[in-house]
Amino acid sequence: MVGIFMNGCCGHMGRAIVDMVKHSEDYRIVAGGDIVVPEEPIGFPVYANVNDCEEDFDVIIDFSNAKAVPGIIEFAKKKNKPLVLCTTGLDDDTVRMSVEASKQIPIFRSANMSLGMNVLFELVRKATRVLYPDYEIEIVEAHHNRKLDAPSGTAYMIADIINEEANNELDYVYERHSEMKARDHKELGISSIRGGNIVGEHDVYFIGDEEVLKVSHSAQRREVFGRGALTAAKFLVNKPAGCYSMQDVITDILK
């Protein structure tokens, strides 16, 4: 059984994972971290300061916020434990910090934990190879009204995949109201929608003069991300230090 320290355990994704493992024979949450410590017991100790944790565990799953990530990286290094880093909206310094920490501990980092979304990444890669530069490309993402970062980390991942296949010649454009001009062919538009309780939707448009191809992914429930995080946690236990991604998990599954 994999013992988990769940950082961000009182957030929406943290609670989803807590509910998923309540009756699991494969996973157990040993302790958690959150800036909001619940008044009612939730089955394990929760620490406002993760460094106060004395329980032993096998792996850390982080679904917190970007500001908390440097602290959880240091905590993982201190405990010498693997870290599944699911939080999005990380700045360049934090990403570099995670890469540096991966020399000491195994770190799994992904802006999207869904298996289906990772299949979409490959479909978009292949579509770009075939259709660019004859087709213009736009990304539209939608999330709930509580999401802080925009565009989403997943939208950036999609954009980077497209741009890599386009020889990095595309310019990311996030809004067009400030300039009255026609769309440049080498723009890659990225639009964000926030509202209600949308779990996560991503549409990629390949727009030609005679046809439009749309590649889409819609997450129906948060559990899809939780299941991916748990799969990654199990994968990461006993792995050597290094950087890992969902593609490594998929490769492991297909062995």
Query: How far is 121 from 250, CA to CA, in rounded Å?
Result: 13
User: Cβ distance 216 to 165 under 8 Å?
Assistant: no
Tally the C-alpha atoms within 13 A of residue 59's C-alpha that lie toward its C-beta: 26
CB 97 within 8 A of CB 73: yes
Q: Active-site residue 147, yes or no?
A: yes
Is residue 143 among the annotated active site residues? yes
**12, 144, 147, 239: the active-site residue:** 147
**CA 198 to CA 23: how far, in whole Å?**
27
Are the beta carbons of 12 and 148 closer than 8 angstroms? no
Of 81, 143, 202, 217, the catalytic one is 143
DSSP lists the bridge partners of residue 5 as 31, 60
| Token output for 209 | 């003069």
In order of 31, 98, 237, the CA distances from 234 in angstroms are 17, 20, 6
Active centre residues (catalytic): 143, 147
